[in-house]
Structure 1
Amino acid sequence: MTSNLDEIVKKLAKKVKRHPKTLLTWFDDAGAIKVGDRYIAVKVDGFAASRALYPWCTFRDFGFRGVTGAVSDVIAKGCKPAVYAVSIGVKPEHIELIEDIFSGVEEAVNLYGGYIENMDTNVGYDDWIDIFVIGECSTQPIQRHAKPLDIVAIPRRLGLSVVAYIEYVEKRAPSFEEVKEFSCRPRACTEIASIVEECRACIDGSIDISDTFAEALQQLSEVSNAGLYINQKPSNMLHHLAISYAESRGVDLMTVTLASNEEYIPILVVKPGYEEHVIELLRKKGLEPILIGFATHQKSVSWLGKPVPKTIWDYASGTITHIST
């Protein structure tokens, strides 16, 4: 997120009126409240096609991806999507695309579960989509949080997003079909919600990787007032296609890992002693989980002894930006 936009959001946070039984901070992946004896998550997410639709993807993919972005944040809190509302806007010459975008939305909802209860359409100077999701939570939603000695894990390997991004910047379509599929129709990690339901006491915190991996680490550290130490090699965290692509182009593997974006999986913060149990639960769901590090008292993010450079998704420019080293 850009610094100016970040400051505006922080300013709004100081004056917004929130529900008296809110459970998550303003800066978390989603909102959540307790209603009676039930936990409810709520999320809104939006995308403009001029920034979020790769040229090799379709508007049907655009609708699917919009749902994935919103659902992933709900899932990262340990909840399951239940009800959706959709707002679709198009340029005047793209009126006929509304049906294609909505078809992609329906395909995603059929995959993730739940019901579409409301829809709005509009016309403007871009094509866009906003997805609203209400999630049902079987237990108290997971906050962005880590405390010293907690173990940090990811449910699968990263990096296909960076391959797609570099190819786009260099005005090419990815040669790997798996990269095309991932960039057009990323899948949220639906298995997380059932694992949280089975072992909520195992997990201290979570954050969705929707901007960059580096930014997610920094945000998790800042909100927790704790540090994170990554002790896993990049080659053990990256998809094999991302590794071969980076090596063929002379791109540093750590850079590829930190720049991984819109992966739509959570970083899980696991209580000490429970990490092997959580890893086993994830494996039983067909995932390839990786223990990547632990939380510290240092209040900074480092990787194998080196400070992690601030690598963010700049919404103003639509690019990945390295702020510092």
Structure 2
Amino acid sequence: MMLKELGEDKLISIMQSLIGLKYPNVDNDVSYVELPNVGLLALKIDGGSLSRTKTDFMTYYDVGWRMTIGAASDIFVKFAKPIALVSSLTLRGNHSEFELRELVKGIKDAAKTIGAAYIGGDLNEGDDDVLDVALLGIANKPIGRVPQLGDVLVTIPEFGFTGLIFKLWYSGLLGSYINDPVVAKGIELTRRPKPWIPSDELVNRINCINASMDSSDGLGRVLYEMGKGVKIKVYSLPINNDVELTCRKYGLSPEEVTFNGGEEYLPVLAVKPECLNYFKAIGFVDFANVEEGNGVYFNSRELQYKGWVYFSKPTY
């Protein structure tokens, strides 16, 4: 069968089976290895082709920045501390020196922002442009994807900015609303997302957290993954208030923008109920319960949104 007929989930399952992955590295967003006399290392590699990731409103600097923050987001949401970064670049020969410099500057500045040393990498020539970023971090303990029964899902209520932008862009309407301040902020966050970095105090609460994922593939995708072994009941949308008002003004669905956006890099944490008040006090909101069963439900109906998935038809 062709890869596009199998879909990302099946392909990942095939790869993990061939590799022989076991807990905590199977079905996880980072890879862990225990190094004697050093501690638990967390490794993450993330990348993609520029033909799929660079939009018309992004510069090459933006791409370097965004893909570095994307890799860091998975490290941070596992409450690990990034320490070093390497990149691999494959570029066509018709790129300019300026474009190469901008890509590398974007990676370098993002690495500095997240506190990781950019220590080198690899350069290749090819028929497509591909950037991969690999990060090494130090973790306290492994954190997986599957919540425990009774957990409450919490996040930061800033969803929707990139979902709004992608919805307008794919519909050919972005240029018509470019002067809207909410749209302008969404474009900036899509081009250069801000990393979510857990505080030392929050890291000390790691035993409150049973599962975690970042929202880089969309909140719908996160919930789909978390709901493979449990039932998740969503009771509110963690959407930014201004984004919700803007969606309604332009006739867009706040629900679709919230669940299907992607490229947001916000933390989604499954926390023990006795820890909920602490997370609410520092700016998180609760939006879903974890129950016995399987799947994801919103307002008593099964949620079909799954965010960004490779080797399948685009959501928008």
Runs of 4+ in 1 over 4 A off after TM superposition: none
Q: How many positions carry a matched residue from both structures?
A: 305
Describe how 1:242-281 pairs up with structure 2 within 5 A: 242-280=243-281
Deviation at residue 195 of structure 1 after TM alignment: 4.6
Deviation at residue 17 of structure 1 after TM alignment: 4.8
Partners of 2:288 and 2:307 in 1: how far apart? 21
The Cα offsets for residues 198-240 of structure 1, whole Å up to 9 and x where unpaired, read as: 1111111111111121111010111xx11111112x3xx2123
- In structure 2, the partner of 1:181 is 188
Partners of 2:146 and 2:311 in 1: how far apart? 28
| Shift in alpha-carbon separation, 1:318–1:47, aligned structure 2, 3 A | farther
Task: Look up the equivalent residue of 1:261 and give its one-letter code.
Answer: G
- In structure 1, the partner of 2:131 is 129
Partners of 2:23 and 2:300 in 1: how far apart? 35
Give the TM-score, by structure 2 length: 0.90
- In structure 2, the partner of 1:292 is 287
Task: Look up the equivalent residue of 1:132 and give its one-letter code.
Answer: A
- In structure 1, the partner of 2:224 is 218
Unmatched 5+ stretches in structure 2: none
Partners of 2:202 and 2:18 in 1: how far apart? 32
Is residue 2:304 matched to residue 1:303?
no
Describe how 1:8-23 pairs up with structure 2 within 5 A: 8-18=11-21
Is residue 2:300 matched to residue 1:319?
no
The Cα offsets for residues 270-301 of structure 1, whole Å up to 9 and x where unpaired, read as: 01211111232xx2xxxx31110210002121
Partners of 1:143 and 1:33 in 2: how far apart? 14
Task: Report if the CA contact (8 A) 2:210-2:271 is conserved.
Answer: yes
Deviation at residue 68 of structure 1 after TM alignment: 0.6
- In structure 2, the partner of 1:4 is 7
Is residue 2:111 matched to residue 1:116?
no
Deviation at residue 314 of structure 1 after TM alignment: 3.7
- In structure 2, the partner of 1:63 is 64
Task: Report if the CA contact (8 A) 2:259-2:307 is conserved.
Answer: no
Task: Report if the CA contact (8 A) 1:154-1:266 is conserved.
Answer: yes
Task: Report if the CA contact (8 A) 1:89-1:122 is conserved.
Answer: yes
Give the TM-score, by structure 1 length: 0.88
Partners of 2:160 and 2:28 in 1: how far apart? 24
The Cα offsets for residues 81-129 of structure 1, whole Å up to 9 and x where unpaired, read as: 1110111122211141211100000110111011112221112222221
Unmatched 5+ stretches in structure 1: none
Secondary structure (helix, strand or coil) at the match of 1:205 reads strand
Partners of 2:92 and 2:117 in 1: how far apart? 27
Task: Report if the CA contact (8 A) 2:167-2:257 is conserved.
Answer: no
Task: Look up the equivalent residue of 1:24 and give its one-letter code.
Answer: P
Partners of 2:291 and 2:151 in 1: how far apart? 8
- In structure 2, the partner of 1:26 is 26
Task: Report if the CA contact (8 A) 1:162-1:261 is conserved.
Answer: yes
Task: Look up the equivalent residue of 1:111 and give its one-letter code.
Answer: T
Partners of 2:70 and 2:247 in 1: how far apart? 26
Partners of 2:267 and 2:123 in 1: how far apart? 31
Task: Report if the CA contact (8 A) 1:31-1:41 is conserved.
Answer: yes
- In structure 2, the partner of 1:227 is 231
Partners of 1:106 and 1:31 in 2: how far apart? 23
Deviation at residue 11 of structure 1 after TM alignment: 1.0
- In structure 2, the partner of 1:240 is 241
Partners of 1:298 and 1:55 in 2: how far apart? 43
Task: Look up the equivalent residue of 2:242 and give its one-letter code.
Answer: L
Task: Look up the equivalent residue of 1:303 and give its one-letter code.
Answer: F
Higher mean alpha-carbon deviation, 108-117 vs 303-312, is at 303-312
Partners of 2:284 and 2:275 in 1: how far apart? 14
